[in-house]
Amino acid sequence: MKYLSMKLFLILFLCAPSYSCDSDPSNKDPFASESDISLSKTVNLSTPNYDSDVVFTLETRNDGPSKATGVLVKDILPSGYTYVSDNSGTNGTYDPAVGIWTLPTIEDGEKFRLDITATVNSTGNYVNVAEVIASDNDDPDSTTDNDVLAEDDQDSVTVKPIAPSPIEVTTYATSVNAKDALIFDESGNLYASNYFQNYVRKIDTDQSVRTFLSNQNGPAGMVFDSSGAMFLARYNSSDILKIPSNGSSSEVFTSGILGPIALDFDSSGNLYTNNNTRPSITSIDLDGNKTIIPFGRPNNSSLVLDNSDNIYISDYSSGVIKKIDATTNVETTFATLPVFSGGGIAYIIFSDGYFYATSASDHVVFMINDSGSSSIIAGRQGVAGNVDGNGNNALLEGPIGIVASTDGRTLYVAHSNKVVEITGFRED
């Protein structure tokens, strides 16, 4: 009897609630504390530039049922990054030397977030892994510090750095407040028109800005002839003004031109302008006589001639650029720029074998080769901003006016209330 009592006691003791006689290890002890800790990791830029900063965001969550204590997360930055800063504080502490985030008590349903800022190095490992390595409680669906990415307490992100663009956007002149057209005179002074305010600004070579013309009734495109005289298209007056190089009184060169915007000369000295309010362009000879050339785009925004006197006309409602052959007068599509739906082209220019176009709607500048292939060289498509810098990071706000330096290696673009220089876009 004594033997049976002892045997019964051992059975009851071993099968007490704090021990398990269940051969199935998946049946957990209902009295044990559990905290289902999950970890997610993201990065704000997946293709950053070398030497730029990225922000890694870690989010640790407790799905219960018990509050979690003693939770440690390991996130050691690999060799591809250099630590800059973090936002630890009420969300715990992060030690960048060992890569350990020590979290406070996490209540059931609570989560904490940590942001780590790092600089992207030019070489190294760019796979950043984070894992929960410790917790006082058991986790029902993962094991701490076992380096199993499939479990929900571990996550990783990988960035693919890119070399910085050789293109640079820098401020040339501020407080211009005139972005409708740009042109240089032979002395290197820059002129900028403002259609809505009816004036033309002059930006001297020292970047000082002053009003050159006022009360011009919709000033738009400008061009200088070989004598140094300026020609100014006045949209609301339906005419073209001529300002002699000696600064004497201006005069109307020709009138009765509906919606003139851009101006350009051909090799014979004939002046061309597009008629924005009708599907045509106008040619004006040296005596002011006009010839109307029908054209199939009623909302044409600008025109330019190449070295062979072929005419290129842009569209304000799309990315289409049409070409009128100087010999045959045949109209063809030269290029279709990939502007967003509803957007279009503001100005187009030609310089040293390349075309350049601004898109105020898309906030970018396009470069187009002689076969019509295009690429964005400045601005971020669809994102407005006023930020100088590398071509990958610079932002433009509604760029319109554009002109090139004499050698074609520098562009000047009017956007926001200033003019910027763009360099480094030519690879030849």
| Cis peptide leading into residue 65 (ω within 30°) | yes
C-alpha distances in Å from residue 141, one per residue of 138, 144, 204, 403: 9, 10, 71, 63
Q: Are 157 and 399 in contact (CB under 8 A)?
A: no
Lowest mean pLDDT among 6-20, 164-178, 181-195, 339-353: 6-20
Q: Are 38 and 153 in contact (CB under 8 A)?
A: yes
Residue 19 confidence (pLDDT): 35
Q: What is the DSSP letter of 9?
A: H
Q: What is the mean pLDDT of residues 158-165?
A: 89
Residue 342 confidence (pLDDT): 87
Residue ranges, comma separated, of all CATH 2.120.10.30 domains in the chain are 168-423
Q: What is the spatial distance between Cα 56 and Cα 74, in angstroms, rounded to a whole number?
A: 13
Residue ranges, comma separated, of all CATH 2.60.40.1510 domains in the chain are 33-158
Q: Is the dihedral of CA 234, 195, 292, 305 positive or negative?
A: positive
Q: Name the CATH superfamily, with its identifier, for domain 33-158.
A: ntegrin, alpha v. Chain A, domain 3 (2.60.40.1510)
Q: What is the spatial distance between Cα 1 and Cα 8, in angstroms, rounded to a whole number?
A: 11
Helices assigned H by DSSP within 160-268: none
Pairing outcome for strands 239-243 and 190-194: unpaired
Q: Are 191 and 200 in contact (CB under 8 A)?
A: yes
Say if pTM beats, i.e. exceeds, 0.85.
Answer: no
Fold of 168-423: Neuraminidase (2.120.10)
Q: Are 229 and 183 in contact (CB under 8 A)?
A: no
Residue 25 confidence (pLDDT): 42
CA proximity to 48, closest of 423, 362, 422, 393: 393
* Chain-centroid distance, C-alpha 19: 62
Q: How many C-beta neighbours within 10 Å does residue 383 have?
A: 13
Q: What is the mean pLDDT of residues 287-316?
A: 92
* Chain-centroid distance, C-alpha 138: 47
Q: Quick one: which H or E segment has residue 234?
A: strand 230-234
| Residue 157 pLDDT > 70 | yes
Q: What angle do CA 221, 222, 227 make, to 5 degrees?
A: 160
Q: What is the spatial distance between Cα 399 and Cα 240, in angstroms, rounded to a whole number?
A: 24
pLDDT, tens digit, 9 for 90 and up, residues 131-155: 999 999 999 999 999 999 999 999 9
Q: Which two tokens stand for residue 138?
A: 């058991």
SS3 state at 71: coil
SS3 state at 113: strand
pLDDT, tens digit, 9 for 90 and up, residues 105-129: 999 999 999 999 999 998 999 999 9
Q: What is the spatial distance between Cα 427 and Cα 248, in angstroms, rounded to a whole number?
A: 43
pLDDT, tens digit, 9 for 90 and up, residues 359-404: 999 999 999 999 999 999 999 999 999 999 988 789 999 999 999 9
| Residue 23 pLDDT > 60 | no
Residue 120 forms beta bridges with which residues?
81
CA proximity to 276, closest of 227, 224, 238: 238
Residue 36 forms beta bridges with which residues?
none
Question: At which residue do the structure tokens 């059931």 appear?
Answer: 108
Q: What is the spatial distance between Cα 124 and Cα 185, in angstroms, rounded to a whole number?
A: 50
Residue 393 confidence (pLDDT): 82
Q: How many C-beta neighbours within 10 Å does residue 361 have?
A: 20
Residue 247 confidence (pLDDT): 66
Q: Which two tokens stand for residue 142?
A: 């993962």
Question: At which residue do the structure tokens 């949209």 appear?
Answer: 235
Pairing outcome for strands 300-305 and 290-294: unpaired
Summary count for the chain: helices (H), strands (E)? 1, 34
Residue 15 confidence (pLDDT): 39
| Residue 26 pLDDT > 90 | no
Amino acid, single-letter form, for residue 176? V
Q: Quick one: which H or E segment has residue 194?
A: strand 190-194
Q: What angle do CA 388, 170, 200 make, to 5 degrees?
A: 105
